[in-house]
């Protein structure tokens, strides 16, 4: 998370505290906008589009709870992060804020370091939640890229890219709802395989559609890949009708609109290790994996292929 890209709105009627907050947050690196009462603050929420709001509870014209209540009525603002600043710490006040959807509380006077830590944590959590795939609830592209950058310099890491062959024809034939069931089924297989054979550093991400990524170590990636293939091949027929299972294929259109016979779906796994070559950025891994998956498709079966080239 880049702090300099994040804008904070401070809604606080006490001028000394308002300017103190502005100074502390700007020195940390945040872009800070201020408002001196609730009405002005609500207007600036819409004009300034802050990433997070620091909201005083007791203010003239409109108090913090009224501001928050107005925000939560707006579908576009229902998830806007808010930290409430209060001189009170009673359970009644906190419950009132929680029921309105406040993210956290800070009681005045507050510790500056704790406040900054809370702001950073909430913003990072928000960033990651926006990246989560809505179908599988697995980490999405932003979280995947962050995880890759954290692991990319390790010589003990293997990146597994996975996708399905004949998924589009299945989706066209059975419909999106059945296709989504297959995607969720594959996601469950990946998570279970990583938990069974991986270690605490195992990672599963959903790039989108039928594209997934698994991060494993050198000691476990082969077991994980083999377990994924076995579980997928042993269960995928359950997603076809009895008639299609007996026939062994479905009849659907290809990308050019031609009617063809399509066999059951298979899973392709492309393995890229940082041990054999210097990986400098996320896109480099994706390019290597794309070449490997293209090669894997030629076998017309579930398969795991590894990058054998070295620098």
For residue 101, the model assigns a pLDDT of 83
**For 237-277, how does the pLDDT look when each residue is reduced to its tens digit (9 = 90+)?**
999 999 999 999 998 877 777 888 999 999 999 999 887 77
For 161, other C-beta atoms within 10 Å of its C-beta total 22
Q: Do 200 and 93 sit in the same domain of this protein?
A: no
Total domains, the chain? 2
For residue 1, the model assigns a pLDDT of 65
Q: Do 125 and 146 sit in the same domain of this protein?
A: no
Output the six-digit token pair for 32. Answer: 């800070």
pLDDT beneath 70: ranges in the chain: 1, 88-93, 155, 310-311
Q: Do 125 and 234 sit in the same domain of this protein?
A: no
Query: Could you say which of 131, 166, 201 is where a domain stops?
Result: 131
For residue 265, the model assigns a pLDDT of 97
Cβ atoms 154, 274 nearer than 8 A: yes
Helices 141-151, 282-296: crossing angle, 10 deg rounding: 100
Q: Do 164 and 45 sit in the same domain of this protein?
A: no
Cβ atoms 260, 251 nearer than 8 A: yes
Q: Do 178 and 261 sit in the same domain of this protein?
A: yes
Query: Could you say which of 102, 131, 160 is where a domain stops?
Result: 131
For residue 296, give its domain range. 141-306
For residue 125, the model assigns a pLDDT of 86
The verdict on residue 311 lying in a domain is no
CA-based angle 131:134:140, to the nearest 5? 30
Instruction: Look up the CATH number of the domain holding residue 221.
Output: 3.30.70.270
Q: Do 112 and 189 sit in the same domain of this protein?
A: no
Interatomic CA distance for residues 178 and 198, integer angstroms: 29
- Which residues, in sequence order, are CB contacts of 256 under 8 Å at separation 6+? none
3-state secondary structure of 77: coil
Give the pTM: 0.72
Q: Do 172 and 32 sit in the same domain of this protein?
A: no
CA distance readout (Å), 278 to 1, 43, 143, 282: 25, 51, 22, 12
The verdict on residue 136 lying in a domain is no
Q: Do 92 and 219 sit in the same domain of this protein?
A: no
Q: Do 163 and 220 sit in the same domain of this protein?
A: yes
For residue 35, the model assigns a pLDDT of 94
Q: Do 17 and 86 sit in the same domain of this protein?
A: yes
Q: Do 12 and 108 sit in the same domain of this protein?
A: yes
For residue 169, the model assigns a pLDDT of 93
For residue 182, the model assigns a pLDDT of 97
Q: Do 115 and 175 sit in the same domain of this protein?
A: no
For 92, other C-beta atoms within 10 Å of its C-beta total 8
Give the number of C-alpha atoms closer than 13 A to the C-alpha of residue 7, restricted to the C-beta side.
Answer: 11
For residue 310, the model assigns a pLDDT of 65
Eight-class DSSP state of 118? H
Cβ atoms 279, 158 nearer than 8 A: no
Question: Which of 281, 255, 269, 252 is CA-nearest to residue 307?
Answer: 269
């Amino acid at each position: 998370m880049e702090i300099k890209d994040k804008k904070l709105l401070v809604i606080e009627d006490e001028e000394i505290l308002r300017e103190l907050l502005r100074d502390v947050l700007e020195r940390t690196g945040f872009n800070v906008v201020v408002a001196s009462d609730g009405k002005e603050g609500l207007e600036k929420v819409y004009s300034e589009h802050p990433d997070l709001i620091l909201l005083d509870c007791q203010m003239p014209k409109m108090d913090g709870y009224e501001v928050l209540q107005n925000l939560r009525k707006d579908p576009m603002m229902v998830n806007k992060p808010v930290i409430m600043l209060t001189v009170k710490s009673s359970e009644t006040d906190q419950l009132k804020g929680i029921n309105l959807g406040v993210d956290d509380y800070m009681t005045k006077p507050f510790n500056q370091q704790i406040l900054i830590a809370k702001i950073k944590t909430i913003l990072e959590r928000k960033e990651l939640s926006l990246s989560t795939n809505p179908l599988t609830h697995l980490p999405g592209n932003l979280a995947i890229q962050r995880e890759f950058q954290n692991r990319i310099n390790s010589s003990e890491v293997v990146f597994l890219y996975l996708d399905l062959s004949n998924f589009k024809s299945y989706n066209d034939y059975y419909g999106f709802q059945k296709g989504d069931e297959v995607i969720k089924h594959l996601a469950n297989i990946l998570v279970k395989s990583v938990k069974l054979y991986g270690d605490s550093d195992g990672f599963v991400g959903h790039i989108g559609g039928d594209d997934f990524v698994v991060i494993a170590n050198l000691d476990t990636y082969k077991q994980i890949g083999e377990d994924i293939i076995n579980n997928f091949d042993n269960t995928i027929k359950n997603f076809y009708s009895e008639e299609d299972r007996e026939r062994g294929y479905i009849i659907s259109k290809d990308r050019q609109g031609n009617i063809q016979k399509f066999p059951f779906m298979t899973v392709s796994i492309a393995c890229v290790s940082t041990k054999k070559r210097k990986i400098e950025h996320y896109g480099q891994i994706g390019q290597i994996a794309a070449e490997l998956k293209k090669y894997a498709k030629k076998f017309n079966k579930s398969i795991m292929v590894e990058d054998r080239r070295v620098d």
